[in-house]
Amino acid sequence: MGSLKKLFAKKEYELILSLTNKSHDALSLYYRLESFFHLEQFEKAIALIKKENNHFKEYTFEMMQIHFASLIKLKLYEEAYQIVKHYENFPYISQEVEEYLSSATQMIRNYELKNRPKPLLSDEQLETMLLHPKDENDLIIALENIRQRKVSNFFKPLRKLIVGNVASNFIKTFALMLLIENKDEKEITFTKNEKTFSLIPKDINLLDYNLLEEDLFDDIETLTKNTTIRDVSRQLFDQLFFLLFPDVVANMDETNLLTGALIVLAGEYLKTQINLDDIILKLQLNKNELEEYVSKYRLLIVNSFD
């Protein structure tokens, strides 16, 4: 079976399935599973996992990843949530698996939200949902629909939403992004996180924020080789960005503090030990300042779930 790796590299998936048809060793099962997945035979991949899940041995982590990916491809989100709990009860799971499972629920939720069908609504219905929402879900549906329309028709209700006290910081950022992307020329004054901002949306350069994100993650890749820490740091940055925007960072010192804080918070989330002294040294940070930023961002994230 030493040829399976070479066959897989050549994308000989059908041949691998033929060769491993009656095999039950971990290596054969792994390549059989990968072949089903790459052939987009997701139901067969899931059936193989259910039948042989105790025999993947050193490939258990890869099996889990393909299991989740197959369920997500089939949009079986409820089953995916249940599988997280199933794998969490596995005996003797590695730290790598534990870290992956810690972020799996959020990963599934992100795909579920991204692929949620959007109802067809009139412009009048969308404006009513913006100004008189039943809940935050109403606002998200309205904003997602407006993004597909002529956004300038909704500038006035979008401004009211941002200026008012009904919307969360997340929703205010979503609405503000629509004004920025569609070059709204009218000045808007609003409050977020007890700070008041006055700006003209068309004058905001989102490229500056994209460059900030690139710099942050270049630094994070240098500071930690743990891919799960990197992934969770990115998720936390996305969340903080929507909570803070347009007040993300003011200067390079704050960029380094944000970088350090993201790594620390990702470690907390994953219950993984972080070498704080090493981060402080490499980013040339003050420990008290870093702890202050960690506390501030932690509180923002926690409060966003209220």
Given a cut of 90, whether residue 41 has pLDDT beyond it is: yes
pLDDT digits (tens, 9 = 90+) for 180-237: 999 999 999 999 988 899 999 999 988 888 888 888 888 898 888 888 888 889 889 8
Q: Which residues contact 234 (CB under 8 A, 6 or more apart)?
A: 217
Could you give the domains of the chain? Answer: 4-114 (1.25.40), 123-203 (no CATH), 206-303 (1.10.472.10)
Backbone angles phi, psi at 48, to 5 degrees: -65, -40
- Average pLDDT in the chain: 88
User: In this predicted structure, what is the pLDDT of residue 306?
Assistant: 56
User: What's the mean pLDDT in 257-275?
Assistant: 90
Q: How would you label 31-51 residue by residue, b for 16+ Cβ within 10 Å and e otherwise?
A: bbbbbbbeeebbebbbebbee
Q: Tell me: the pLDDT tens digits for 72-119? A: 999 999 999 999 988 888 876 777 788 888 888 888 888 887 777 666
Residue 50 has pLDDT above 70, yes or no: yes
Q: Is the pLDDT of residue 257 over 70?
A: yes
If one counts every other C-beta atom within 10 angstroms of the C-beta of residue 105, the result is: 13
User: Distance (Å, rounded) from C-alpha 18 to C-alpha 38?
Assistant: 15
pTM of the model: 0.59
Q: Where does the pLDDT of residue 25 fall: very low under 50, low under 70, confident under 90, or very high at 90 and above?
A: very high
**One-letter amino acid identity for 107?**
M
Three-state SS across 54-75?
CCCHHHHHHHHHHHHHHHHHCC
The lowest-confidence range among 34-38, 89-93, 97-101, 286-290 is 89-93
SS3 192: strand
